[in-house]
Amino acid sequence: MNQSWKKFLLGENASFENNQIVFPTVDLENHNRIYAVSNLSVLTVSGRDAVTFLQGQTTCNVNDISETKSGLGAFCTAKGRVITTFLLAKHNGDFLLVLPAELLAIIKKRLQMYILRADVVLTDSSDDICLLGLLCPDDQTGSIAVPDPLFTSYPQQDVLNQIALPQNRYLILAKPSKAISLWSEKVGSQHYRPDNSAHWSYLDIIDGIPWLTALTSEEFIPQMLNLDKLGGVSFNKGCYTGQEIVARTHYLGKSKREMRLAEGVMTLPPEPNTAIFDDDAGTEEVVGRVLQGLIHKNCCKMLIVIQVYDEKPHGLKLKNPDQNKITLI
C-alpha cells in the first residue's frame, strides 16, 4: 500500500488490523459509504504485445475489454485449475488487473516466464494505484447477483477507472494523490461515510464475486466458480493455458460442482478451503469447500463450492471442531 495513502487514512482515524482497514464504529445503515479496499491490488500489463499475451493466458476474451468495458477472468494452470480470478480494466492502452493482493507476486512471477521475446511489461502497481469503493444503499435480495457479462467502466478525469458493480457499488482505481482528494471530497461533503474494508469484501461475497486466497488457489476449475455465468470465460476465443480442460467440461458435460451463497450462525468465519459435509448422508464425505466467509450482524455469509444437488440439502455442516450448520441461500 502506498505510504502517503496509508498516512492519510491514519489521519482519518483508520486503524490497520490483520490486513483490514477499520474505522470507528458508527451506524451506517442507509448511508452512502466509502471504502479503502485492502484485499486487492493492481498488476499492470503494458507493451505492444499485451493483448496477444493476455489472450493466451486468460479465460476471458481480452479483445472485449476497452476503456468503457471491464470484465472478470482467471489465470489457470495447464490442468484448468484457477490460480486466481481478476477484474480486468483498461486505461490508456494498458491493462489493469485487479486481483487478490496475496496472489499478485505469484501471478507476476508465473506470467514473467511466458513473456520470452514479447513486448510485454508486468508492473506491480500496489504502490502506485489505490483502490476505493463507493456504495449507495440498495435492496439486498440475499441471492447471488449475476451482473452483466462485462462490467461497465466509466473513465473519469484524473481517475484511472471507475467500474460499476452490483448493489449500486463502484470500484475506483486512482493514483494516491487523487485517491486522497477524492476521499476528502466525498467525506468532507458528508455525502459518504467511511466504512471498514471487511464490509466491502462482505458485499463481494453477497454479489458472488469469487476472490481466491493462497488456500483456495489451484483448487477449482472456472465453472466451479461460476465464472462462465459471470462472463469470465470465452469458449470461442482460441487457446489459452488450461483451455482444453475448461472447454471439455463445457462441451462434453457440465461441472459437478458450483458456487453457491450460504449462511450460518457462528462466532468466527471459516477459513478458506474448509471442508463441508452432508450430515444427512450419514458419512463425513466432503461435498464442498468454503471459498470465503465473513460475519456481519451476527450471521456468517459465505461463498462455497459444492456439488450440484437436485434438491436443496438440509444437513450441510462445516468440517471444523464446532461442525457449524450452514444453509444454502
What is the C-alpha separation between 213 and 291, in angstroms, rounded? 8
Beta pairing partners, 299: 296
* Average pLDDT score over residue span 242-247: 94
- What backbone torsions phi and psi does residue 297 show, to the nearest 5 degrees? 55, 50
pLDDT in tens, 273-327: 999 999 998 888 999 999 999 998 889 999 999 999 988 999 999 999 999 999 9
DSSP 219-240: S--GGGGTTTTTT---SSS---
Domains of the chain (ranges; CATH) run 3-206 (3.30.1360.120), 222-328 (2.40.30.160)
Among 30-34, 127-131, 204-208, 251-255, the range scoring the smallest mean pLDDT is 251-255
What is the C-alpha separation between 124 and 42, in angstroms, rounded? 7
What is the C-alpha separation between 307 and 259, in angstroms, rounded? 9
> What contacts 253, CB < 8 A, 6 or more positions away?
none
Using the structure block, give the residue that is written with the C-alpha cell 463481494: 204
- Considering only CA atoms, give the Rg of the chain: 20
What is the C-alpha separation between 279 and 316, in angstroms, rounded? 6
Q: 45 pLDDT exceeds 60?
A: yes
Contact 116, 52 (CB under 8 A): no
pLDDT in tens, 121-134: 999 999 999 999 99
State the DSSP code for 101: H
Q: 251 pLDDT exceeds 90?
A: no
Q: 145 pLDDT exceeds 90?
A: no
* pLDDT, greater one: 260 or 19: 260
* Average pLDDT score over residue span 239-262: 92
Model confidence at 155, in pLDDT bands (50, 70, 90)? low
Of 259, 152, 269, 150, residue with least CA distance to 201 = 269
Of 202, 307, 243, residue with least CA distance to 74 = 243
pLDDT at 147: 42
pLDDT at 156: 67
What is the C-alpha separation between 33 and 17, in angstroms, rounded? 20
- Average predicted confidence (pLDDT) for the chain: 92
pLDDT at 276: 98
pLDDT at 106: 98
What angle (nearest 5°) sits at the alpha carbon of residue 199, between those of residues 58 and 150? Answer: 30
Model confidence at 157, in pLDDT bands (50, 70, 90)? low
pLDDT at 146: 42
Q: 138 pLDDT exceeds 60?
A: no
* pLDDT, greater one: 61 or 28: 61
Among 7-11, 59-63, 114-118, 187-191, the range scoring the smallest mean pLDDT is 187-191
pLDDT at 141: 40
Percent of the chain that is helix, strand, coil (3-state, to 5) = 20, 35, 45
pLDDT in tens, 78-122: 999 999 999 999 999 999 999 999 999 999 999 999 999 999 999
Model confidence at 153, in pLDDT bands (50, 70, 90)? confident
Angle between helices 176-188 and 3-11 (to 10 degrees): 20
Of 325, 249, 258, 313, residue with least CA distance to 291 = 258
What is the C-alpha separation between 54 and 95, in angstroms, rounded? 9
% of the chain beyond a pLDDT of 70: 95
Q: 186 pLDDT exceeds 70?
A: yes
Q: 27 pLDDT exceeds 60?
A: yes
* Average pLDDT score over residue span 22-46: 91
Q: 16 pLDDT exceeds 80?
A: yes
Q: What are the helix (H) ranges across the chain?
A: 3-11, 50-55, 101-115, 176-188, 197-206, 243-252
State the DSSP code for 325: B
Q: Tell whether the torsion through CA atoms of 223, 42, 204 and 160 is positive or negative.
A: negative
pLDDT at 149: 38
- Model's pTM, two decimal places? 0.92
Contact 61, 69 (CB under 8 A): no
* pLDDT, greater one: 234 or 150: 234
